Amino acid sequence: MTVYVDDMRARFRKHIMCHMIADTADELHHMAVRIGIARRWYQGDHYDVTLDRRAMAVQFGAREITWRECGLMTVLRRRDPAAPLVTPAEGAAWLRARVDAHLAAHAPRDSVRSS
């Protein structure tokens, strides 16, 4: 089981924030306690953390990932909060399959022309 922090840089008031996610909610909340983040900041599947708290999480064993990897890993959780994290490759494959299915369903059909 693992906790992850991404490389997003978003301004929130005077802070720069990034995301912290984990394989399980228990792991996520445990890390939040270790780095001094209040439970009220929990956003359903992640915490937004300041860069200094991100550094603390890394010191306590969190894995550094990219913002893109974070999005791909949580793609199923956006549809079902109980869904597990997936690898970035699994998330990308799921997303590609959804896009392909959508495009196939909305592709223009060949029209039959009469001469």
Six-digit token string for 91 = 């998330």
Give pLDDT tens digits for 50-95. 999 999 999 999 999 999 899 888 888 878 878 888 888 888 888 8
CB-CB neighbours of 52 under 10 Å: 11
| Domain ranges, ordered by start, for the chain | 3-105
Q: Contact at 8 Å (CB) between 1 and 27?
A: yes
Three-state SS at 4: strand
Three-state SS at 37: coil
pTM for this entry = 0.79
| Residue given tokens 């802070």 in the structure block | 15
Give pLDDT tens digits for 84-103. 888 888 888 888 898 888 89
Inter-helix orientation angle 51-59/25-34, to 10°: 110
